Chain A
Amino acid sequence: MTTSAISLAQAIAARTTTAAAATDAALSAITERDGELHAFLHVDADAAREAASAIDARLAAGETVGPLAGVPVAIKDNLVMTGVPTTCGSKILEGWRPPYTATVVERLIDAGAIPIGKTNLDEFAMGSSTENSAFGPSLNPIDPTKVPGGSSGGSAVAVAAGYVPVSLGSDTGGSIRQPAAFCGLVGYKPTYGHISRYGLVAFSSSLDQVGPFTTTVADAALVSEVIGGHDHRDSTSIDAPAPGLLEACGRGVAGLRIGLCSDLLDGADAAIVDRVRAAAAALEAAGATVVDLAIPELRLGLSAYYLLAPAEASSNLARYDGVRFGLREERDDVAAMNVATRTAGFGPEVKRRIMLGTYALSAGYYDAYYGQAQKTRRLITNALDAAYQGVDLLLGATTPTTAFGFGDKVADPLSMYLSDLFTIPSNLAGHPAMSVPFGADSAGLPIGVQLLAPGRRDDLLFAAGAVLESEVSA
């Protein structure tokens, strides 16, 4: 399926095709290929067909339907849906069926979208390849010997393999943008607070944001407008209108100042550096001014992130204790049951981060680790704010490399963590960022360029992203 969500929704609304046909196409593509690619952990074909028929019936009755009516979508398996298994890629949640639905999923359904199933991820969104999923990795459809990236790898695969035009992921340190880059998709992480986290199983609450994978910038804009906006169930949700994203897609970049940031580029593969420079040239040709700049503070992001995110995770993941839901390893007393359950239920990377985070928050170490990391976070935010005094947007690479092979980085967690080097600063600052596909390396593996904007100027990403997209398709 190469049709965009927007054209598919238009065709369904115009009744040149049906929601049922679109859903069947998605389901048969999954049947055909997902045994190999493993994008999905759970596919609910019956529910999807039923929802599609309901949309078709409403259209036949002349009812008004939402902007995504009949569009099949895939949902990362850390977003809850009533009655649908949610595992977070972990054995500890196996069998849990949540009694409620995430705000973003609710809004997709209200807009007429058809949830097809739940996609694979690194356990609790901790990882950059889906190799940390307790249920096995997903494969990159461009080259199945390569990882699709992570943690939202399954959602990236679901779109890149052409099953669905849209999927939702979550981005804590790059978990949407990095797999989007590896799979040749548009991946967008909004301003913190722009899209509700209610129903997103928390990894690191102050960094997590939900966002879409799409094949076009305009699709990302539409989906984000559908799922975005204030939610009273999320206290960190911004209670103010967001700038129009769809409208921004046609705005162009004339007059914009764009900073080509060496600290979001140096150390990346030569092919990636070339493509980022080509993107800068394309933006300049479209009327933007590109300036070179350095923000050395961004280099501190990785170490701050790998203290803050595990610290919050150590607390967020405490509730998986065998008492109320999910796995329970029976023992004679409750403390032994807690330990046995968590020992059996969590994989090695989750355990590593829980230990790291517990240590960073411990009495006597808090100031040196967590406290220092918070100061670094503030430093990075201030440095970005200062840079935005001179430019409207920043441009850099999304990832230091293109998609790597299975097992390449598993033995060395630090080299895996380095995959997030360029994406982490936006999470720390709460700023929006987008990865736009912009060519490929000599092996044909996709390359993503990254656009970064100041908080609540998500519209600028869409203006520039659409320009880059038109350059690629031209």
Chain B
Amino acid sequence: MSAWETIIGLEVHCELKTATKLFCGCPNMFGDEPNTNCCPVCLGLPGSLPVLNKGAVELAIRIGLALNCTVAPSTFHRKNYFYPDMPKDYQISQYDQPLNAGGWIDLPDGSRVGITRAHMEEDTGKSTHLGGTGRIHGADSSLIDYNRSGVPLVEIVSEPDMRSGVQARAYVAELRAILVAVGATDGRMEEGSMRVDANVSVRKPGDPFGTRCEIKNLNSLRSLQRAIEYETARQIDLIEAGERVVQETRHFDEQTGRTGTMRSKEEATDYRYFPEPDLVPLNPSVAWVDEIRSNLAPLPKARREHLLAAVGEVTPALVDLVATVVDRDLDTLVRAAIDAGAPAQLAIARAANELDADGALPSPASFAGTCQLEASGRLSATQAKQVLSELLSDPHGDPAAIADRLGFVAMDDGALDAVLEAAIADHASEWQRYCDGDDKLAQFFVGKVMAATKGKANGKAVIAAIAARRP
């Protein structure tokens, strides 16, 4: 069987983190009592008119600039279709003149994914279907919450540049990090702040694109990858069995891990797009776009590169740790700690594994001090982690003083020798095997020493002492 190639393009809907909705002054708030953040405009009542939220436009332009798009004069269109949670039975969106077009994202693995466009539109209300399968067909009744109606969205459409579920997942993770970094969204996929539709097709490399299917509403990175992998296998199976892939919209079932038909191409709506007569063209001035550009927060890629530049030798493991640090918004702290004298690799590792930007954080000086104590051997790794944990409630605490209070006294070599000797005496046969060349047993004796000293011993010193005693 010759290899198949998967072709993936993604459409990501991102809710903008504005104070108010896109076309009215209602609060843009997730989780409030249903139908409390509504007015004539976002309920689409007869006679109401939309007024564009300038703050939402600014966030959309930030997104465009962060995705290397051209920000251009644009217009709004009406996308017409009937659905009960869409109050006007048309969605105000952008069509042939989007605000942002023609950009790209560089992924951490070095690949580049093209961005076709990133346009503005309004969200719909949220339907809850009671009875049946939870979908509208076969439901006993439906409840509609219009709090979400009119919430500003940016839809980011990629080129069909991705070739695997893993790459698609990395793209969404990177996109999410960019959107969060520029302050456009909170990026909470589980709350629907970001929703992903995946267009998937397969082909033999070099062939034209195959027939694609669109999988709707993937709401986690894991679902995205699973759905693409399932859909790829399904399409390959069909073709290899001599059948054809039918262009259609599919949904992904989290429970079974399978995709299923939602509607076929024949059922596709004719959206009858036409220019929205209630809004005037959106022509952001060059000066305004330049001002937004100059105030744009540093993007994840630049932040990762900046942090890696502080380290001497770059290993794949370190690249992952740096990605985690930036992803958790800890890079500012780590860079400050490095500037304050912390060894870079250690600061990165401790931040990636021990700290959480959503909680309390140590001050850069205290974090740097802790890293220095560990690097010098004054604190063991275990002790250093405990000191960091203490610093969370006392961010400006003196790491050395905290270590003293916790009774973390560096062991002198004599004390360490005595403990090691006792361990060797208690486990003579293991020691013999170690001396005969079974290197794995070194870790056994490190463990014994650590247990006996309750973690106070410096791991590196213990390893050195064990090695030194080997005949």
Q: Could you tell me which A residues sit within 8 Å of B by CB distance?
A: 78-80, 86, 88, 93, 96, 98-100, 102, 197-202, 204-206, 232-236, 311-312, 314-315, 318-319, 321, 323-325, 333-335, 338, 358, 361-363, 366, 370
Contact = CB atoms under 8 A, between A and B. Distances in A.
A318 B46 CA distance: 11
Contacts of A333: 137
A130 B324 CA distance: 69
Which of B40, B43, B274 counts the most chain A CB atoms within 10 A?
B274
Interface in B42-76: 43-52
Contact of B142 (A99, A201, A206, A334): A334
Contact of A234 (B49, B82, B84, B270): B49
B262 interface: no
Contacts of B136: 334
A212 to B, nearest CB: 18
B47 A201 contact: yes
Interface string B64-100: 0000000000000010101010011110000000000
B146 to A, nearest CB: 9
B280 interface: yes
A198 to B, nearest CB: 5
B278 A201 contact: no
28 contacts: A78-B47, A98-B45, A100-B40, A100-B47, A100-B48, A202-B47, A202-B278, A205-B277, A205-B278, A232-B51, A233-B51, A234-B49, A236-B280, A315-B90, A315-B274, A318-B82, A318-B88, A318-B89, A319-B89, A321-B82, A323-B144, A333-B137, A334-B136, A335-B82, A358-B272, A361-B80, A361-B274, A370-B274
Contacts of B84: 321, 323, 334
A200 B40 CA distance: 12
A98 B274 contact: no
Given A321-B84, A358-B272, A370-B274, A235 B280 contact: yes
Contacts of A232: 51
A235 B52 contact: yes
Interface in B18-51: 40, 43-51
Given A312-B277, A319-B88, A80 B272 contact: no
Interface in B80-139: 80, 82, 84, 87-90, 136-137
Contacts of B273: 361
B45 A361 contact: no
Given A100-B40, A235-B278, A199 B47 contact: yes
B278 A361 contact: no
A98 B87 contact: no
A312 B52 CA distance: 20
B42 to A, nearest CB: 12
Nearest to B39: A100
Contact of B47 (A198, A236, A321, A370): A198
Given A232-B51, A236-B280, A318-B80, A93 B272 contact: no
Interface of B: 40, 43-52, 78, 80, 82, 84, 87-90, 136-137, 142, 144, 270, 272-274, 277-280
A205 B46 CA distance: 12
A358 B136 CA distance: 26
Given A318-B90, A333-B137, 13 more contacts: A98-B45, A98-B47, A100-B40, A201-B46, A235-B278, A314-B80, A315-B90, A318-B80, A319-B89, A358-B272, A361-B273, A366-B274, A370-B274
A201 to B, nearest CB: 4
A362 B46 contact: no
Which of B50, B84, B142 counts the most chain A CB atoms within 10 A?
B84
Contacts of B137: 333
B47 A315 contact: no
A243 B278 CA distance: 24
A361 B47 contact: no
B280 A86 contact: no
A113 B51 CA distance: 28
Nearest to B81: A318
Nearest to B136: A334
Given A100-B40, A236-B278, A315 B270 contact: no
B48 to A, nearest CB: 7
Contact of B82 (A202, A325, A338): A338
Given A318-B80, A334-B142, A363 B47 contact: no
Nearest to B25: A233
Contacts of B47: 78-80, 86, 98, 100, 102, 198-202
Contacts of A198: 47-49
Contacts of A234: 49, 51
A96 B48 CA distance: 15
A99 B274 contact: no
Given A235-B52, A321-B82, A315 B46 contact: no
Contact of A324 (B48, B49, B87): B87
Contacts of A88: 46
Contacts of B274: 311-312, 315, 361, 366, 370
Contacts of A319: 44, 46, 87-89
B277 A206 contact: yes
B272 A315 contact: yes
B88 A93 contact: no
Contacts of A202: 46-47, 278
Query: Which 7 residue pairs across A and B have the least CB separation, nearest first?
Result: A318-B89, A206-B277, A361-B272, A205-B277, A201-B46, A199-B47, A201-B47
Given A99-B40, A312-B277, A197 B46 contact: no
Given A318-B88, A318-B89, A324 B278 contact: no
Contacts of A96: 46
A314 B82 CA distance: 12
B77 to A, nearest CB: 10
Nearest to B270: A363
B94 to A, nearest CB: 15
A207 B405 CA distance: 79
A205 B80 CA distance: 15
Nearest to B144: A323
Contact of B40 (A98, A205, A235, A323): A98
Contacts of B78: 315
A235 B89 contact: no
B50 A235 contact: yes
Which of A201, A311, A319 counts the most chain B CB atoms within 10 A?
A319
Contacts of B43: 324
B80 A315 contact: yes
Given A235-B280, A338-B82, A362 B270 contact: yes
Nearest to B41: A233
Contacts of A321: 82, 84, 89
Nearest to A326: B46
Contacts of B270: 362-363
Contact of B46 (A86, A314, A361): A86
A236 B45 CA distance: 18
A115 B277 CA distance: 30
A314 B273 CA distance: 12
Contacts of B144: 323
Nearest to B40: A100
Which of B40, B279, B280 counts the most chain A CB atoms within 10 A?
B40
Which of B78, B273, B279 counts the most chain A CB atoms within 10 A?
B78
Contacts of B87: 319, 324
A202 B90 CA distance: 14
A375 to B, nearest CB: 13
A315 B80 CA distance: 7
A93 B47 CA distance: 13
Given A319-B89, A334-B136, A235 B82 contact: no
A199 B80 CA distance: 22
A199 B87 CA distance: 16
Nearest to A371: B274
A366 B88 CA distance: 21
A113 B280 CA distance: 32
A410 B196 CA distance: 52
A88 B45 CA distance: 13
A96 B47 CA distance: 13
